[in-house]
Structure 1
């Protein structure tokens, strides 16, 4: 269900401006939840950390089921942010714990393949239910799976002794987060990266939906086809990326990522279907190749010093700037222009920001620790 949030919001009558505001409030909920998450992490309360992600996701589904426009874009958005915080922050922390030196590209590639096949079944079921207008059925299914996940995870974590052995540093103060700075321009990258992640997961998915004449079934089939192809690509390159000149691969990936946003801005509903699908495939490949290269660099840099602080600072910086970025987008899109054109303009305006990624990993001249 999370994959279809943007589509669900659009079909419920929200405009691009409304969805941008929803994202800004989602980021706000993430930031507040992160403060609490960090303290549970320091206490090794893994059962509560992981279980809360399921519980909060269930509450968000309830808001979609019975909430009106205002409730969804306020309370629902805040809950959605909190759910995302507990899921993604915990996932990043545990991923960092299982990776070893020089294998982050391979490990992340394996993780991507697993996610691709796990999502494929979810996308197929979700698109079918939405396509058949079984909106309530989809949300109830998501609600039940969240509760089931909570019961299974909570039971398994109570008796798990491996997680208890993970060493955790004390919770961080906001002052420590604000003063974060390193030799790799990380704070600048954190500021930009959140914007592109949410543009992809919300606006780009909504663009694909519009390009397919707002057919949820067609959207689902496209996403599945892309997932299968990308899984095959990751299977081939996941080991290779750890062996070659990482700087060269990274630079190529950044250029490809910038080109992918130009493609997104160029695609239009008036184009031939073959041209649209070719553009979707190329944009998906370039984006996922960049994510593989970027995440390898992210986890390699994180493990060099204080990985927990690094991961937490990344979330704080990214989410805070999401509030700023999408609040501005919400204001700028309060026009009568078509949604497709509004999204195209956003993609073109954001493309130059991709070049900031070139700075990631370069040594800064002076560092204040």
Structure 2
């Protein structure tokens, strides 16, 4: 069956599968690792801000080197950056550790997400964006959560060194698979032929779909989902890595069947209505985030967590369907790059401001999470401004 898939699709899923498992082993745990190490909310916010800076700087470089380097080398670089990221953890006693760790984290995120989006975009047809993004999201969820389960068990029972060695081994084998078992590959021709984005083009980007405003908004929300919410779940799991992993896997399995059914039908449902429902549900989910603590009854706690997980994933499905549909109708890969530039730049700005503000109430503790979720709920309706593609 795999041999019948187009080459671009095979390369995409191999790249996606290896990196998704590696992300689950440790990068998924970065926010809770920093929390466990005693870093304050202000320091974690600063880490996120510098990660955004690292992403933007690396994207500027990626947009130029991919014209002259083969896809094999770009993929090898992504595995190498992941190994460097993990090796940097051993320097966590150094005063410059957090800045270096964040910059490398941003560089790795860029090489993974930009390469992944470029390859995924080439697998899309005109009429099945929702279904294919749904398939992609299901694959990512399954593989990342498998890595999370292994990573949590190893971190709690065997220590960080075991995670580091396993990750480096997988990364090395991943690089070999793209060099020894694949012909020299290039990125899609239309991507290589598109001139690099200049600063003037980035700053003056505007369209009738209100894309740039939405891109600015979406960046901080992505890190709220992947960093702040992970810290909340970590606290619920009594700061145990493997309990956090088990909780995340349980939540994923609990809603996956319903989500699988929805993603197969989303292309045939009224696009604007689905998007509006998804945004409304996403808004309510942030209010639910703020109510979660270990004083809730067990049944109500798990019901709330499952609803939050479903609403977030359903919103991401509807939002990304609109995003990739607009990319196909407008400037293709450039649209993908513009999204990253705007989102990551605003991540750097907004979390930089947050880090400064959090320096004042230094004893705020985990209360800053609930405040952040209420602010997120208040800002979520701004997503309604993102216009749907023209038919």
TM-score, L = length of structure 2: 0.88
Alignment of 1:311-350 (within 5 A): 311-334=336-359, 335-350=361-376
Q: CA deviation at 1:49?
A: 2.0
Q: CA deviation at 1:155?
A: 3.8
| Contact 2:92-2:98 within 8 A present in 1 as well | no
Mapped partners of 1:316, 1:88: distance in 2: 12
Deviates more, 1:108-117 or 1:130-139: 130-139
Q: CA deviation at 1:303?
A: 0.7
Q: CA deviation at 1:293?
A: 0.4
Q: CA deviation at 1:322?
A: 0.5
Q: CA deviation at 1:314?
A: 0.5
Mapped partners of 1:326, 1:102: distance in 2: 37
| Contact 1:184-1:362 within 8 A present in 2 as well | yes
| Counterpart residue number, 2:138 | 113
Alignment of 1:33-44 (within 5 A): 33-43=58-68
Mapped partners of 2:252, 2:132: distance in 1: 18
Deviates more, 1:209-218 or 1:16-25: 209-218
Q: CA deviation at 1:165?
A: 4.7
Q: Which runs of 5+ in 1 are unaligned?
A: 365-369
| Contact 1:183-1:363 within 8 A present in 2 as well | no
| Contact 2:91-2:97 within 8 A present in 1 as well | no
| Contact 1:116-1:231 within 8 A present in 2 as well | no
Deviates more, 1:139-148 or 1:276-285: 139-148
| Counterpart residue number, 1:367 | none
| Counterpart residue number, 1:172 | 197
Instruction: Give the secondary structure class of the aligned counterpart of 1:98.
Output: coil
Mapped partners of 2:112, 2:322: distance in 1: 22
| Contact 1:180-1:187 within 8 A present in 2 as well | yes
Mapped partners of 1:110, 1:44: distance in 2: 29
Could you say if the C-alpha distance between residues 297 and 174 of structure 1 is closer, same or farther in structure 2, counting changes exceeding 3 Å? same
Q: CA deviation at 1:332?
A: 2.3
| Counterpart residue number, 2:184 | 159
| Contact 1:129-1:137 within 8 A present in 2 as well | yes
| Counterpart residue number, 1:272 | 297
- CA distances 1:227-275 after superposition (whole Å, capped 9, x unpaired): 2233322321112100010100000000000111111112123333332
1:193 to 218, 232, 257: 218
1:231 to 256, 271, 284: 256
| Counterpart residue number, 1:221 | 246
| Contact 1:58-1:147 within 8 A present in 2 as well | no
- CA distances 1:306-361 after superposition (whole Å, capped 9, x unpaired): 11111111110000100111111112222244432111111111222111110101
Q: Which runs of 5+ in 2 are unaligned?
A: 1-25
- CA distances 1:68-121 after superposition (whole Å, capped 9, x unpaired): 253331111101100100110111111111101120100011111111221232
Deviates more, 1:51-60 or 1:26-35: 51-60
2:164 to 139, 153, 174: 139
1:96 to 112, 121, 130: 121
Mapped partners of 1:183, 1:278: distance in 2: 39
Mapped partners of 1:210, 1:307: distance in 2: 41
Mapped partners of 2:94, 2:377: distance in 1: 31
| Contact 2:283-2:380 within 8 A present in 1 as well | yes
Mapped partners of 1:155, 1:80: distance in 2: 28
Q: CA deviation at 1:363?
A: 8.8
| Counterpart residue number, 2:273 | 248
Instruction: Give the secondary structure class of the aligned counterpart of 2:79.
Output: helix
Mapped partners of 1:44, 1:230: distance in 2: 41
Instruction: Give the secondary structure class of the aligned counterpart of 1:20.
Output: helix
Mapped partners of 2:96, 2:178: distance in 1: 29
Instruction: Give the secondary structure class of the aligned counterpart of 1:70.
Output: coil
Mapped partners of 1:277, 1:64: distance in 2: 33
Instruction: Give the secondary structure class of the aligned counterpart of 1:13.
Output: coil
2:377 to 351, 354, 360: 351
Could you say if the C-alpha distance between residues 175 and 298 of structure 1 is closer, same or farther in structure 2, counting changes exceeding 3 Å? same
| Contact 2:70-2:185 within 8 A present in 1 as well | no
